[in-house]
Amino acid sequence: MGVFPFIVVAWILTVGLYGIVTSRHLVHQIVCLIVVQSSTYVLLLGVGYRRGAAAPYFSDVSVHTPAVDPVVQALALTDVVVEAAVTALLLAFAVQAHKRFGTLDPQELVQFKG
Amino acid sequence: MNPAVRRWVFLAGAAGLAAFYLWGLTGLPGFGNYPGPYGDIINRIAVAQTNATGVVSAVNFEYRAFDTLGEEFILFAAAVGVSVVLRRLRGERERPARDESMDRNLAPTSDAVRMVSLVLVGPTLVMGWYLASHAQTSPSGGFQGGVVLATAFILVFLAGEFLIFERISPLAAIDAAEAAGAGGFAAIGVSAVAMGLPYLTNFLPLGSRPGAVSSSGTIALISFSSASKSPPPSS
């Protein structure tokens, strides 16, 4: 049980990367990028976890209760927001690519030199 | 490079990545054995220093507020970038929407969907407001509240009331709300500088007791401004 969450991280990362490499549709590629970024959330939250500890919110428990690491949770929050912003921009690029080249297949788009 | 070769190159790269990753895993203290020290330090001093019982939001809006400011501007830049990439170019003309297949009978939105969506708009608004205003006390925060608030608008769209959706989310108001959110965050930081303190210092009164909604000074204000910033990119 000591490293199982981190194996899950590696699996999610590899599956997402495989999807990006072998994708035939830009939107599918963008969703695979989202999957890759999700693996970093699991990694961040897994690093900060303490067995048997409470969430770092002390409104109903005493301040001296052992709690998990709040800093990595704040980092994961930022990570989610950055992912949303990147996805929005990438989807806009996909729309423009379809408008200019008529295709959304990344393996055909490689031939166009802009 | 044809797809088969690409696949083999990827597998070779993935094998190398897996080797390095497993080597790194052996140096970790294991899942569940968090060694500290920063998490423990923050947990110990956050409530006393800021009167905020929501330590994650205190980290986001107080201890690392500068990072959150940068994140706000990432959101802002993404919204600006999308509107620039999708602008109307010189050679393009916007064609008025034509009904391409007028003989297709569209099923009207089912009554169940309409009723449930419209009934849920009110509770969603209340929930979003609650989340945005309670960042400093319980698991919630500006970004989460903003996303739930945006969902309320989308529920109106789902119910098929497209004209009402257009009227309640006019582009000018959304742009103003987004700019107010981003500018408000920066302004809160600058007003600390105007008082001779370092940028983004928490200078407002900290409130009577930890866990009160009106506690923790600028954390609540910053949470509100990020809540007004999140719906516009969603809609």
Domain boundaries, chain B: 53-83+112-235
Of B48, B53, B43, the C-alpha closest to B135 is B53
Among B53, B59, B71, the residue with its CB nearest the CB of A59 is B53
**Percent over 90 (pLDDT), chain A:** 41
pLDDT tens, A54-107? 888 887 778 888 888 889 999 998 898 889 889 989 999 999 888 888 888 888
Interface contact B112, partner A, CB < 8 A: no
Q: Give this prediction's pTM.
A: 0.77
Q: Output B224 or A49, whichever has higher pLDDT.
A: A49
Interface contact B71, partner A, CB < 8 A: yes
pLDDT of residue B43: 86
Among A50, A82, A95, the residue with its CB nearest the CB of B74 is A82
Q: How do the pLDDT tens digits run along chain B, 235 residues long? A: 688 898 899 999 999 999 999 898 888 888 888 887 888 888 888 888 877 778 888 888 888 888 888 888 888 888 888 888 888 777 666 666 666 666 667 667 778 888 888 888 888 888 888 887 777 777 777 777 778 888 887 787 777 666 666 666 666 666 666 666 666 666 766 666 666 555 555 655 555 555 555 555 566 666 666 666 665 555 4
- Whether pLDDT at A39 is above 90: yes
pLDDT of residue B189: 65
Best of B26, B31, B33 to disrupt the A interface (most A CBs within 10 Å) is B31
Q: Nearest residue of A to residue B141 by CA position?
A: A77
Interface of B with A in 122-141 (CB under 8 A): 137-139, 141
Q: Output A33 or B187, whichever has higher pLDDT.
A: A33
Q: How far is B117 from chain A (nearest CA, A)?
A: 25
Query: Which residues on chain A are in Cβ contact (under 8 Å) with B39?
Result: 48, 56, 67-72
Whole-complex ipTM: 0.80
Spans of all domains in chain A = 4-109
Of B126, B114, B125, the C-alpha closest to B152 is B125
Q: Which parts of B26-169 fold into alpha helices (H)?
A: 38-50, 55-58, 65-85, 111-133, 142-158, 162-168
Interface contact B204, partner A, CB < 8 A: no
pLDDT of residue B227: 65
pLDDT of residue A27: 94
DSSP β-bridge partners for residue A57: B54
CA distance B37 to B40: 5
- Whether pLDDT at A25 is above 90: yes
Q: What is the CATH number that goes with domain A4-109? A: 1.10.287.3510
Task: Give the number of residues written for chain B.
Answer: 235
Interface contact B86, partner A, CB < 8 A: yes
pLDDT of residue B192: 61
Q: How far is A45 from chain B (nearest CA, A)?
A: 10
Mean pLDDT, chain A, as a whole number?
A: 88
pLDDT of residue B2: 80
- Give the CA angle between residues B150, B215, B191 to the nearest 5°: 80
pLDDT of residue B33: 84
**Cβ contact A69–B18 (<8 Å):** no
